A and B are shown apart, each in its own frame.
Chain A
């Protein structure tokens, strides 16, 4: 690490960072570039040494690795392990990396051969179940969201650089939504996972009158039974709730159990 700047008179180190993408839409990386107003400030905090989507130079000497995407093929597993060996800190960037993201929706069929045929017919193609990166390597920090929220990432990276402790909110999106004085989506007859999803996005979707889809995964004290009850009272089908619970993989086992119930009842 290079010492270049000081903060309150204390020298701060400018860590070398790399961005890496596995199976993903690359949207989370793009969010880093989507910081037009603060991009240049942000760039002065770190030294980017590897960012395939943005630059030609690459180096294997980095302190922090941001990994986007989930693992869906053997070569990605290998790449991920090499990244882990090179980096001091591995950060899972976005819901694909944290939980499998939308990619894990194919896992629900429990039949990869069917999945392959559905898209490629008999043409041979390699794939495995979509998994979060924590299934293969130790992950030091998870940044949730599909997509990640740029303001949140900048805050987290600044703390990382300054060596401060990083904590995620343990309350649900609902709290942020109330603070933003939004109309509750349930009152508009729409499903919303706000009551059970981890906050931190500032109720991004409900503030735009779209119910939460749970992209940040469960809040620590998520009460799914309670959510099911609210939905029932508001006449929202289990299937619509399930669509959201299983969309990004954050609700794992709970979503799988619900699928068995919904399919059994159909």
Chain B
């Protein structure tokens, strides 16, 4: 039987923001296969113009409710780089700890609340409360731990209050850090159980050759700053981010789009893992191998698995960071810095991929120009081309329209898109 379908999903559910999928197949011929971004733009880059630099982290955090910590840190890094200021070691450690907990919080939210329901054949996490109570409880425990730690280190889990240019307004309590370290250790059991659960999920065997872009590790698994790399062999410095993201517009999207060596590129957990697999600690690596994820993997659905691997990685790293923080006496939370005319770029790996903020200042530190390149906007073109290939793949596999609809939705969800962020 020839495959026929006409799918028109307006405002896809269980993703952040507004996007639509259209697939039309007639007699086994793909007539249309689109990913469309309809989100309303908010114009953050314009809002910042004329504002004093201290506004940037505060305002930019509001680009995204899920990765507000990442945006705040990217703005701070852009400013500090622009003023040629290097934060103290203590500040660096606290920032990465905070970043890790955002990654954990966001990945768990995505894996359990947004992605898992598809694999378990339900429409949301709600039915799982009754059918899989232990799964829901584990997810809530992990998310609570990550969020509680964000409160302790960043002041607030969403739109942090302690993170400022030069450092922190206030330091966490060491006694609390010690407790959190114990909770982190305990959480490994929940993560192992999560890995066992995900091992039972049937992941579509769909592949499309893709160029993956992320920060470049120097023997580590990087999250804040450094050089940029792609699986096609491109290497750039942080301040050359424009050469890596090459933003352009197209009529099917209110978000900007990106490309590098090919017609599209991908960023995110899978990209990070593909580029920096050797920087993973042994426990994360082991889980990755066990779940069949080794570089370079070109199956976009494996981004879910990569996120799970990263959960283990950030938990292990956080345990170590807390050890060094507990071993050293607290220094001043914040350093003064001198305002300089110039441009600064901050590249940060946020849950959905690499994020760049670029700010240009006048000599009083007022912002003359701002540019934010969001992970999901870098992914949109890749999602679009994946949908095209996925439609062909579904024809080959002889899928019916219900199956095609579900698998297309699952594909987009696997990218964990943050669409309001991408349009900002």
Contacts and interface: CB of A to CB of B under 8 A. Distances in A.
Contacts of B65: 24-31, 147
Nearest to B47: A105
B42 A120 contact: no
B40 A243 contact: no
Interface stretch (A4-12, A33-41, A168-176, A219-227): A33-41
Interface string A135-164: 000000000001100000000000000000
A55 B46 contact: no
Contact of B124 (A31, A54, A247): A54
B40 to A, nearest CB: 5
B334 to A, nearest CB: 10
Interface of B: 11, 13-17, 40-47, 49, 51-52, 54-55, 58-59, 62-66, 68, 109, 113-114, 117, 123-126, 129, 140-141, 143-144, 147, 155-159, 161-162, 164, 169-170, 249, 254, 420-421
B300 to A, nearest CB: 20
Interface of A: 21-31, 33-34, 36-37, 39-40, 43, 48, 51-58, 72-73, 75-76, 101-103, 105-106, 109, 114-116, 118-120, 123, 125, 127, 130, 146-147, 204-205, 208-210, 213, 239-240, 243, 247
Contacts of B113: 33, 54
Contacts of B155: 205, 208, 210
Given A27-B68, A53-B16, A120-B249, A210 B169 contact: yes
A34 B156 contact: no
Contact of A27 (B141, B158, B170): B158
A245 to B, nearest CB: 12
B40 A72 contact: yes
Nearest to A128: B40
A114 B49 CA distance: 11
Contacts of A73: 40
B159 A26 contact: no
Contacts, number: 156
B45 A204 contact: no
Contacts of B41: 72, 119-120, 125, 127
Contact of A55 (B13, B64, B254): B13
Nearest to B147: A34
B64 A243 contact: no
Centre residue among A21, A101, A105, A123 by max chain B CB count within 10 A: A105
A22 B157 CA distance: 22
B46 A72 contact: no
Given A53-B14, A53-B15, A56-B124, A118 B161 contact: no
B68 A25 contact: yes
Given A39-B140, A54-B14, A239-B52, A109 B46 contact: yes
Given A55-B126, A105-B59, A204-B156, A210 B15 contact: no
A8 to B, nearest CB: 26
Contacts of A127: 40-41, 43
Given A33-B113, A36-B143, A48 B43 contact: no
Contact of A43 (B66, B129, B162): B129
A26 B17 contact: yes
A130 to B, nearest CB: 8
B51 A243 contact: yes
B45 to A, nearest CB: 5
Given A54-B14, A120-B249, A33 B46 contact: no
